[in-house]
Structure formats: C-alpha cells, structure tokens
Amino acid sequence: MADYLLSIMTFFPLLGILVLLFIPRDNGGLLKGFTLAVSLITFAISLPLAFDNVFTTSGGMHYREFYEWINIGNFFQMNYNLGVDGISLWLVMLTTFITPITILSTWNAVDKNVKGFMAMLLLLETGMLGAFISLDLFLFYIFWELMLIPMYFLIGIWGGKNRIYAAVKFFIYTAVGSLLMLVAIIFVYYFAVQSGVPMNGFGIEELYKLDLPYNAQFWLFLAFGFSFAIKVPMFPLHTWLPDAHTEAPTAGSVILAAVLLKMGTYGYIRFAMPMFPEALPTFIPFLAFLSVVGIIYGSLVAMMQDDIKKLVAYSSVAHLGFVMLGIFALNMQGFAGGMIQMINHGISTGALFLIVGFLYERRHTRLITEFGGVATKMPIFATIFMIITFSSIGLPGTNGFVGEFLALMGAFHSSLRWYAVFATSGVILAAIYMLWVYQRVMFGKVTNPENEKLKDLSLREIVIMLPLLLFVFWIGIYPNTFFSKMNPAMEQMLEHMGQGKVAVVEMHQPTDAGSHAPVKKHGHN
C-alpha cells in the first residue's frame, strides 16, 4: 500500500463522492456521517506519513509515484508524478486533519442541500491534497484549478447575504492569477526543452536544475508570484479574502483559512522561489515590503471591524504576512518559522472561524456589539476562545509564539532586518485587536437580553475543538516533532536556492539533522 499511499489518500474522497451520490438526498444525518467517515479514513490513510522517520534523515521526495500520463512526442509530455517531502508533509497532514473537523462542524449549520455540500467538501479535499503532492507542474495546475470549483459553490450556494458577489470575486481573482501562471508554465517548459535540459514531463525537479537567463526568470517569477500572491493573499491583492471569508459558510471559511491560503505560500516555496532563484533577490525587498504592509494594514483594519468574522479574515492577511516574511528571510530560522506558522495559522485561524461559527449558530449575528458578557453564560467556550486567542496573538507556550518568533528572528538576521522591526509592531497590534474583541464579546455584564439564553458548547463542539487545542500546545511546547521532519527538506531547499545569486545566510551544517529545533541553529548575516 505504501507504494500507492499518496494516490489512495488523494482520490479516496473522490471515491466517497461516487458513493455519496447514491445516498438519498433527504437523509442528512447519513450523508454527514458518511462524509465524516470518508474524511476520517482519509486521515487514517495519511497517518503513516506523519510517523515515518524517513523525513528526519532525508530531505528528498518520498512515496514517489510516477506514470506517464500524456505523451505527444516532441509536442509535450505530462506525467502523473507524486511525492511528498518535509515541506509538503505537514501541509498534507493539516489538510487531512482539518477536513473531518470542518465536516463535524457542519452538523447543525448546514441543512440545505447537504449532499451537494458534502460532495463539494470532499472534492475540495482531493484538490488540496493533489496540489500539495504534485511534482509535475501540469498536474499541479490541474489540482490547483480544481480547488476553485468546489470553493466557488461552497460560498455561492451556502454563503451569506452577499454570497454571489463574494463567490464570483473569489473565482475571478484566483483564476486570473492562475491563467497567467499557465502561460508561464508552458513557457518555462518549452524553454527547458529548447535549451536541451533532459525533461521529464513538466517535472519540477528537472526545472530546478534549469539555468534560465535572468530576464526570463524575472518575468516567470512575476507570473508565478502574482498567482500565488493572490492566493496568499498579499496586500494589495487581498480584497477578495474578507468578502469570501465573511460570506462563506463556517466550513468553507475554515478550509479557506486553514488550507487554501497555504497554497499561495506553498507555491512560493515549492515553485516560484526554487525555480527562479536568480530573480528572487530582485523581488524579495518588494515582496517583503508588501508582507510588512500586509501585517500592519491587516492588523489595523482588523481592529476597526465590527463583524467578528471580518476581523478574523483581516487577521489572516496579517498572519500570512509573517509567513511570507519568514520565508523571504532565506535562512533556516525564517524558513522554519514561516513553515510552522503556516500550520499554526491553519490551526488557530481555523479554530477562530469555528468559534465565530458557534456564536453565529446561536445568535445568527456576528456583530461584536450584539454580544458582551458571554463568558458568564458559556464558561467552556470562554476558556477555549481564550486559548485560541492567545495562540493567535502568539503568546509563549502556544504555537503562534514559535512561528512568529522564528519568522521574525529569521528576518531580523537577514537582509530584511528593518522589515522585521516594523513587522514586530504587528504582534502588538494583534494583541490589541484580539484581546479587545475578546473583551467586548466575552467580558462584562450581559447587556443584550438575547444573550441570556446562550447555551454552552455541546459535546460535539468540544470534540471539534479538542484536537485543535492539542496542537496549539503541542507545537507551542514541543515543536521538534514537526521541525525534525521539516529540517532536512528545508535545508535542501535553501541550499538549492543558494546556488543562485541569492545572498543566503551562512548556515552551520547540521550534524545530526532533525534532532535540533532550528531555534538552536544560529544563522547570522
């Protein structure tokens, strides 16, 4: 089974859809239960990856699968080329982990056309998993676009009042970026073929070895980077995100925040940066600047929101700014910080959207002013919300601290020192807007009589939150579990990018890769 693990994992949800079609449409409970089972089995299938120690010793691709897919002789060739390394490993795990949670969260929230909803969630899971493990650009593009369709319907059918506007905006924004990337993909392929590099379909490992002229790298990085920047989203391409998040149903928001946004950052790490390393130094100051603007702007706008969901959405813009800044530091700390912050954001922002969902299901409003004093009525909820708030702010002991600290540290030790200084203000701003919203919603006296009847979390809701809380502390206290499997792959990636003219920070060669958290490795300028 290990030989086909990735394929089975990716297409199992799709298989689930086929069975789903034969379940009667009015049996909502069965539909939900079945989908939950499918997603749990998918998670179980992916579990061996998390426990495989091969990632701690080797940074290359594992669990490879390779078949020729389309071969048109001298025209072009595409392969079904899969693999997973330390960089994609935890993103894959995050995807399979968060999907059952979102499905469980829809138990009471979705009762309109349940079958379609569940099918879309499963289709989305296939798309996300496929995108993370594709090693062929063409295959990646297919999965990348495939994610668009279910998300579009999730927002458009099950969304809020302005759902149509939000869905169409989301779709067109993301598609415009991908279409330009498609031109770049074809161009880089033919360039590689014509320059005589032995190509293996659109295989990225071959493309890594390509020595493109700077001019071509510049434009290609622009095309890839633009597409990924929309997905991240980076300021000023972020405007689709608040709309999409606010209008999407809770499950859609959770997946969007937890996994879909990571596609953008993952795209930078896997494709844009290693494929065009010579163009990278040109863009880094610019992209780092936009990241910092995103951090500060996102935080400031989040502060002014009166809708909790919008607030969380804007906080995403800020959090992803930290991820990008860490990655662009191009040193081990920054990279590790950015990577772990991707997972953290998936957990804590996913959890925040679930929390907003709990409130919304009870009161059918998300306006902060409608609440107040909720803590007295919902003590368990208050505790969980508190922990997640801390995690989002980045309090030591929680996962957010590890990620933000490392990302900022990495940036500080690189050429991005001053960017890091300004970005740090985002940490303070985050504390302000998160604690302020917590205070306004949870503390004080119950002023709104509607809130008198609030019920605390049900068992199902607690079960949803517990795994997330577990990882908040696990990553916060012992991040080595995760770093040890990421490090070899990250080192390899940084080393590769260093082959270009990138001023990569000098790194101490790890003696026993994986046994140290990158915190202990000193990088300096």
Partner 1 sequence: MENLVQEAIQNVNMQAIMPSLVLCVFGMVLLMVSVFSKRGNTTHVAWLSIAALVITGFVTLSGWNNPQGGFADSVLFDNFATFFSMICIIAAGLTILMSDDYLKREGSPVGEYYPLILFTTAGAMWMASGTDLMTIFLGLEVLSISLYVLAGFFRDQTRSNEAGLKYFFLGAFSTGFLLYGVALLYGVTGTTKIQGIAAYVQANPDSAMNTMFIAGGLLLLVGFLFKIAAAPFHMWTPDVYQGAPTPITAFMSAGPKAAAFAALMRVTIVGLDGLQSELTSLFWVLAVLTMTVGNFIALSQKDLKRMLAYSSISHAGYAMVGLVAWNAVGLSAILFYMLVYTFMNMGAFAVLVLIGKKGEDNLTLDGVAGLGYKKPILGIALTIFLFSLMGLPPTAGFTAKFYIFAGAIKAGYIWLAVLGVLNSAVSLYYYLRIMVQMYFKDPEEDFAWVKINVPTAISIAISVVGVLYLGIVPGAVMNLAKLAGF
SS3 83: strand
Contact with partner 1 (CB under 8 A): which of 141, 228, 401, 482?
A: 141
| Spatial CA neighbour of 279 closest among 344, 342, 341, 214 | 214
Contact with partner 1 (CB under 8 A): which of 8, 15, 109, 182?
A: 182
Q: Which is nearer to partner 1, 201 or 321 (CB)?
A: 201
Q: Which is nearer to partner 1, 87 or 129 (CB)?
A: 129
Q: Which is nearer to partner 1, 156 or 500 (CB)?
A: 156
What's the min distance (Å) between Cβ of 264 and partner 1? 18
Q: Which is nearer to partner 1, 247 or 278 (CB)?
A: 247
What's the min distance (Å) between Cβ of 188 and partner 1? 10
Please report where in the chains the tokens 């936009």 appear, as a residue: 290
**How many angstroms separate the CA atoms of 262 and 340, rounded?**
11
**How many angstroms separate the CA atoms of 54 and 59, rounded?**
9
Interface with partner 1 includes 167 (CB under 8 A)? yes
Question: Residue 449: exposed, middle, or buried by beta-carbon count in 10 A (0-12, 13-18, 19+)?
Answer: exposed
User: Residues 6 or more apart from 472 whose CB is under 8 A from it?
Assistant: 347, 348, 351, 387, 388, 391, 398, 399
Furthest C-alpha separation in the chain = 74
Q: Which is nearer to partner 1, 152 or 353 (CB)?
A: 152
User: Residues 6 or more apart from 370 whose CB is under 8 A from it?
Assistant: 363, 448, 450, 451
Query: Do residues 396 and 473 lie in contact, with contact meaning Cβ atoms separated by under 8 Å?
Result: no
What's the min distance (Å) between Cβ of 115 and partner 1? 9
What's the min distance (Å) between Cβ of 190 and partner 1? 5
Q: Which is nearer to partner 1, 8 or 148 (CB)?
A: 148
**How many angstroms separate the CA atoms of 48 and 35, rounded?**
21
Site size for partner 1, by CB under 8 A? 34
What's the min distance (Å) between Cβ of 186 and partner 1? 5
Contact with partner 1 (CB under 8 A): which of 22, 26, 29, 73?
A: 73
**How many angstroms separate the CA atoms of 373 and 46, rounded?**
42
Q: Which is nearer to partner 1, 216 or 300 (CB)?
A: 216
SS3 21: coil
**How many angstroms separate the CA atoms of 410 and 132, rounded?**
25
Contact with partner 1 (CB under 8 A): which of 2, 48, 190, 306?
A: 190
Interface with partner 1 includes 196 (CB under 8 A)? no
**How many angstroms separate the CA atoms of 189 and 78, rounded?**
11
Q: Which is nearer to partner 1, 173 or 471 (CB)?
A: 173
Contact with partner 1 (CB under 8 A): which of 164, 367, 421, 466?
A: 164
Query: Do residues 355 and 370 lie in contact, with contact meaning Cβ atoms separated by under 8 Å?
Result: no
Contact with partner 1 (CB under 8 A): which of 2, 30, 37, 183?
A: 183
Token pair recorded at residue 59: 């940074």
What's the min distance (Å) between Cβ of 141 and partner 1? 7
Q: Which amino acid does the sequence have at 218?
A: F
Q: Which of residues 101-140 bind partner 1 (CB under 8 A)?
A: 113, 138
Q: Which is nearer to partner 1, 190 or 443 (CB)?
A: 190
Q: Which stretch binds partner 1 (CB under 8 A): 165-173, 298-306, 337-345, 359-367?
A: 165-173
68 forms bridges with which residues in the sheet? 79
Q: Which of residues 76-105 bind partner 1 (CB under 8 A)?
A: 76
Q: Which stretch binds partner 1 (CB under 8 A): 151-159, 206-214, 286-294, 493-501?
A: 151-159
Tell me which long-range contacts 209-213 makes (C-beta under 8 A, separation of at least 24): 210/275, 212/188, 212/276, 212/278
Interface with partner 1 includes 179 (CB under 8 A)? yes
Interface with partner 1 includes 145 (CB under 8 A)? yes
By the criterion CB under 8 A, which residues form the site for partner 1? 69-73, 75-76, 113, 138, 141-142, 145-146, 148-149, 152-153, 156-157, 163-164, 167-168, 171-172, 175-176, 179-180, 182-183, 186-187, 190
